[in-house]
C-alpha cells in the first residue's frame, strides 16, 4: 500500500521461487513509502513472494533500466521470464534468466504497533523505552532469498512492438508489430536457440545514443566541479546484468567538450522507406483422423444407378476412414485443406483438395475432388429377371468457387467447373463392354442467409436458410433420345426457437425440383448419416424418365429409403431438443457424454413425385419390398395431405468423440402401435 504504480501483474513459478511478477515505477525494491508526490521513475520488473504465509512479502527487483520502461512481464519457461522494453529506443521483447538463492532468516521484533527488522541493540532499547516496555511483544522470523536476473534482448525490431498479450494456462504470448504501413499479429513460440545463444543485439537508436552522451557529459561536469576524494569504501557491483554493459564506448567522443547540444541535419536515409519481402506465414489449422460417413460438399449428386440400393452417399460404405488436414496463414487470408477418405475395402477411396483466398471482399477458391465407388452384383429393379454386373463408378470434379458477403449474415456463392463421370464393368463378362462416360459442365448459384448462433453442440438459436440453383449441361457425346440440360432448384430453411435455457424447438423445411432433358431422382425416406440403411427395392423408378443423377430426400424417419421417388420432393421436420443434464444442473459438466446428452421428440413429413405439381400425392407403402414377389400390396402411408408422416423419440450424445443419434419412429397411421423403426446415425442437426 504505497504511492507507486504496480501494473501488468501475472503469476510465475521459478525453481525455488513462486509469486507475482509485475511492472512498477518504484525506484528500488525496498523503497520507503515516504514520498507524497507522484514519482517519475522508469518502470522496471519486480517479483513479490506472494505465497509465503507471513504478512511480510519480499520484493525483488529483476531489471534496472536507465532510459526505457519495462512492461508486460510474464513467464517464458521454467527459468526465464519475458517482458517488453524500449531501453534502446524501440519497443523490443526481452528475456531474463532468473536465479534465486536462500540467504537465511530475518528477525522480526514486534513492539506495540512497530515492527523492527534485524534491529541493533541501540534501536531495540530506544523502541522499548518509547513504548515503556521491558521486553518485546513477540519475535518472528521470515525467510529471505537473494534473487538476481540476467536480462538480454530476444528481438531487434526496426519499428516498435505496439501491443502484447499473455493468455491461457500455457501462457501463450501474442504481439502486434508495425512493419511499414502494415500491422502484423504474431503468436510467439518458445525460441530455445535465442535463450541459449543470447546473440541478439538490440542496438540503441540515435536518440538513445544522445541521451547516453548527455548523461556522460553531465557526470563529467559534476566530477570536475566536485573535489576529488578517494573512495575507500567497498563498492558493491550491480547484480543486474545487461547486454548494453558489454558495448564499447565510442572513442571518437572522448575528450570532446560540449558547450551546447548539437543538432544534426536530417539525413537522406531518414526519408527512405524500407520495403521488405513478407511472404504469408502458414501454420497448422487442424488435423483430423477418424471414422466418418458424411458427404463431401462437391458430391451432392451421385451418378444414377437405375434404382439400385441402398444409397450410401459417403463412398458407398456405412463408415469410412477419414484423414483431413488444413493449413492457414496468420491472418486467415489463405486456407489450404485436403482429405482422403478410405473405404473398408481399401479401394473405394476419395480425394479432396481445396484452396480458398479470403483476403478481399470477394472470396474465391478452387476444389479438386475424386470419388471411387464399387457397386456389387445387383438385381435390376426394372427387370427382376436380369442382373446388373459389378462395376466401378468414378466421379471427378474441377470446380472454381466465388463468394461475396453482403453483410455478416447474407452472402451469394457461385460454383462452376467440369465434372467427369465414368462407369467401368469389372467382371470377366464385362471386359469387352466399353466404359460409360459422361462429361458435364456445372454451374451452381446459392443465396445464403445465416443469422444463427451455435450455443452448444447441436443447439442453435436463430434463422438460417439457403436457396440454390444447379445447371448441368452435358458436353460429351449425346445419345439419340437424351437431351443436354439438367436444371435443379431447391431451398433449405431452418429456424431454431429457444424454449427454456438450452432447450429449443427446431423447424426445417426443404425441397428440390428438377427439370430439363435429364433430371435428378430423389429417394424419400431414412435419415442423414444412417448406419446400415434399409432400401425399398419394390418401388422402381419411372422408366419413362431420363435420370442423370440420384440423391436422398431427408429426413423421413420411420420409413425406408425409396418409400417414394421422383424428380421433386418436399420434406418438413420438427424437433424439440432438450439437453438433459446441462439443463437440470447449474454447474459445469466435465463428462462429454453427460454434457451433450439430449432427448428429442420429432415429427417428419415428406413426399416425392414425378412430373408436374398436379401429380403430387401421398406415398404408398409396398408389401413386400421384394421386387421378385408375385404379388405386391400398395397401402397409402399414414400422414397429412400429400405428405407421408412419422413421429417418435430419440437420444443424442457424444460417444468416443462421435455425435451419435438414436431414433425410434412410428408411422402416422398408428398411435404408438406396433414395432417402431430404429435408426442409428452420425452427424449434427437434421
Could you give the CA distance from residue 551 to residue 553 in angstroms, rounded to a whole number?
A: 7
Could you give the CA distance from residue 183 to residue 174 in angstroms, rounded to a whole number?
A: 13
Question: How many helices and strands in the chain, by DSSP H and E?
Answer: 5, 37
Could you give the CA distance from residue 585 to residue 600 in angstroms, rounded to a whole number?
A: 19
φ/ψ of 612, rounded to 5, equals -85, 180
8-state DSSP, 455: E
Residue 594's H or E segment, with its range, is helix 592-595
8-state DSSP, 426: -
Tens digits of residue pLDDT in 239-291: 455 555 555 555 544 444 444 444 455 666 666 666 666 778 888 888 989 88
| 400 shares a domain with 521 | yes
Nearest one of 211, 390, 369 to 298, comparing CA atoms: 369
CA–CA distances in Å: residue 283 to residues 297, 330, 338: 24, 7, 15
Can you give the C-alpha Rg of the chain in angstroms? Answer: 38
| 315 shares a domain with 182 | no
Is 408 part of a structural domain of the chain?
Answer: yes
Predicted structure pTM score: 0.62
Q: Which residues of the chain have pLDDT under 70?
A: 1, 33-38, 52-55, 104, 141-142, 168-171, 224-277, 377-387, 429-431, 478-482
8-state DSSP, 192: H
Nearest one of 446, 454, 452 to 464, comparing CA atoms: 452
The whole-number pLDDT of residue 380 equals 64
Is 125 part of a structural domain of the chain?
Answer: no
Is 619 part of a structural domain of the chain?
Answer: yes
Is 267 part of a structural domain of the chain?
Answer: no
CATH code of the domain containing 357:
2.40.160.50
A 10 A CB-CB count for 351 gives 15
Domains held by the chain: number: 2
CA–CA distances in Å: residue 576 to residues 216, 300, 335, 572, 680: 79, 28, 36, 14, 18
Is 117 part of a structural domain of the chain?
Answer: no
The whole-number pLDDT of residue 155 equals 86
Could you give the CA distance from residue 660 to residue 30 in angstroms, rounded to a whole number?
A: 62
| 521 shares a domain with 394 | yes
The residues pairing with 579 across neighbouring beta strands, listed in sequence order, are: 598
544-582 in b/e burial notation, b at 16+ Cβ within 10 A?
Answer: ebbbbbbbbbbbbbbbbbbbbbbbbbbbbbebbbbbebb
| 610 shares a domain with 647 | yes
Residues with Cβ within 8 Å of residue 139, at least 6 apart in sequence: 107, 108, 109, 110
| 426 shares a domain with 375 | yes
* Pairing between β-strand 503-516 and β-strand 568-579 as defined by DSSP bridges: antiparallel
Could you give the CA distance from residue 367 to residue 415 in angstroms, rounded to a whole number?
A: 10
The whole-number pLDDT of residue 432 equals 73
Could you give the CA distance from residue 526 to residue 534 in angstroms, rounded to a whole number?
A: 8
Asked if 452 and 498 touch (Cβ cutoff 8 Å), the reply is no
Handedness of CA 172, 178, 179, 185 (dihedral sign): positive
Asked if 388 and 425 touch (Cβ cutoff 8 Å), the reply is no
Is 296 part of a structural domain of the chain?
Answer: yes
8-state DSSP, 241: B
| 593 shares a domain with 513 | yes
8-state DSSP, 561: B
Is 455 part of a structural domain of the chain?
Answer: yes
| 317 shares a domain with 215 | no
Q: Which domain holds residue 677?
A: 282-682
Is 491 part of a structural domain of the chain?
Answer: yes
Amino acid at each position: 500500500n504505497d504511492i507507486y504504480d504496480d501494473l501488468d501483474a501475472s503469476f510465475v513459478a521459478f525453481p525455488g521461487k513462486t509469486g507475482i511478477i509485475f511492472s512498477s515505477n518504484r525506484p528500488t525494491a525496498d523503497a520507503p513509502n515516504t514520498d507524497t508526490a507522484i514519482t517519475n521513475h522508469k518502470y522496471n520488473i519486480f517479483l513479490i513472494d506472494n505465497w509465503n504465509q507471513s504478512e511480510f512479502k519480499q520484493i525483488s527487483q529483476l531489471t534496472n533500466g536507465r532510459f526505457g520502461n519495462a512492461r508486460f512481464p510474464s513467464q517464458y519457461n521454467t527459468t526465464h521470464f519475458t517482458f517488453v522494453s524500449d531501453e534502446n529506443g524501440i519497443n523490443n521483447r526481452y528475456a531474463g534468466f532468473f536465479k534465486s538463492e536462500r540467504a537465511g532468516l530475518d528477525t522480526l521484533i514486534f513492539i506495540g504497533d512497530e515492527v523492527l527488522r534485524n534491529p541493533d541493540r541501540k534501536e531495540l532499547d530506544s523502541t522499548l523505552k518509547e513504548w515503556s516496555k521491558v521486553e518485546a511483544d513477540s519475535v518472528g522470523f521470515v525467510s529471505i532469498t537473494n534473487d538476481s536476473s540476467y536480462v538480454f534482448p530476444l528481438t531487434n525490431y526496426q519499428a516498435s512492438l505496439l501491443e502484447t498479450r499473455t493468455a491461457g494456462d500455457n501462457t501463450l504470448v501474442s504481439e502486434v508489430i508495425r512493419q511499414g504501413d502494415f500491422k502484423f499479429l504474431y503468436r510467439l513460440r518458445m525460441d530455445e536457440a535465442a535463450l541459449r545463444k543470447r546473440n541478439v543485439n538490440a542496438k540503441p537508436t540515435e536518440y538513445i545514443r544522445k541521451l547516453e552522451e548527455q548523461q556522460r557529459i553531465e557526470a563529467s561536469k559534476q566530477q570536475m566541479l566536485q573535489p576529488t576524494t578517494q573512495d575507500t569504501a567497498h563498492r558493491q557491483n550491480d547484480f543486474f546484468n545487461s547486454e548494453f554493459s558489454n558495448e564499447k564506448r565510442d572513442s571518437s567522443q572522448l575528450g570532446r567538450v560540449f558547450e551546447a547540444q548539437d543538432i544534426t541535419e536530417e539525413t537522406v536515409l531518414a526519408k527512405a522507406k524500407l520495403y521488405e519481402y513478407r511472404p504469408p506465414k502458414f501454420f497448422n489449422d487442424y488435423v483430423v483422423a477418424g471414422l466418418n460417413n458424411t458427404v463431401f460438399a462437391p458430391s451432392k449428386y451421385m451418378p444414377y444407378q437405375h434404382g439400385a440400393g441402398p444409397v450410401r452417399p459417403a463412398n458407398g460404405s456405412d463408415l469410412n476412414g477419414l484423414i483431413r488436414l488444413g493449413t492457414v496463414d496468420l491472418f486467415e487470408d489463405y486456407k489450404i485443406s485436403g482429405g482422403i477418405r478410405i473405404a473398408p475395402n481399401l479401394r473405394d477411396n476419395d480425394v479432396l483438395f481445396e484452396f480458398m483466398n479470403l483476403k478481399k471482399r470477394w472470396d474465391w477458391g478452387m476444389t479438386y475432388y475424386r470419388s471411387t465407388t464399387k457397386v456389387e452384383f445387383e438385381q435390376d429393379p426394372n427387370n427382376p429377371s436380369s442382373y446388373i454386373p459389378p462395376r466401378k463408378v468414378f466421379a471427378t470434379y474441377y470446380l472454381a468457387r466465388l463468394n461475396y458477403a453482403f453483410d455478416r449474415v447474407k452472402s451469394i456463392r457461385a460454383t462452376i467447373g467440369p465434372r467427369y463421370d465414368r462407369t467401368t464393368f469389372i467382371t470377366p463378362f464385362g471386359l469387352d463392354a466399353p466404359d460409360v462416360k459422361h462429361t458435364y459442365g456445372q454451374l451452381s448459384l446459392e443465396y445464403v442467409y445465416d443469422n444463427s448462433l451455435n450455443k452448444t453442440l447441436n443447439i442453435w438459436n436463430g434463422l438460417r436458410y439457403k436457396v440454390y440453383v444447379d445447371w448441368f449441361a452435358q458436353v460429351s457425346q449425346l445419345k439419340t433420345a437424351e437431351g443436354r440440360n439438367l436444371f435443379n432448384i431447391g431451398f433449405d430453411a431452418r429456424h431454431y426457437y429457444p424454449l427454456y435455457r438450452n432447450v429449443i424447438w427446431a423447424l426445417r423445411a426443404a425441397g428440390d425440383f428438377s427439370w430439363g432433358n435429364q433430371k435428378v431422382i430423389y429417394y424419400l425416406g431414412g435419415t442423414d448419416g444412417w448406419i446400415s440403411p434399409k432400401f425399398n427395392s419394390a418401388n422402381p423408378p419411372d422408366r419413362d424418365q431420363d435420370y442423370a443423377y440420384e440423391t436422398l430426400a431427408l429426413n423421413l424417419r420411420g420409413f425406408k429409403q425409396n418409400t417414394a421417388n421422383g424428380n421433386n420432393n418436399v420434406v418438413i421436420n420438427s424437433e424439440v431438443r432438450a439437453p438433459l443434464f446441462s439443463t437440470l444442473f447449474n454447474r459445469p459438466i466435465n463428462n462429454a457424454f453427460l454434457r451433450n446428452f439430449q432427448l428429442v421428440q420429432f415429427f417428419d413429413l415428406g413426399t416425392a413425385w414425378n412430373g408436374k405439381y398436379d401429380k403430387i400425392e401421398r406415398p404408398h407403402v409396398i408389401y413386400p419390398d421384394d421386387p421378385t414377389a408375385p404379388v405386391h400390396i400398395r397401402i397409402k402411408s399414414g400422414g397429412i395431405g400429400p405428405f407421408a408422416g412419422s413421429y417418435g423419440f430419440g437420444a443424442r450424445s457424444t460417444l468416443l468423440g462421435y455425435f451419435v443419434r438414436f431414433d425410434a419412429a412410428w408411422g402416422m397411421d398408428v398411435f404408438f402401435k406396433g414395432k417402431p423403426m430404429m435408426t442409428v446415425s452420425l452427424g449434427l442437426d437434421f
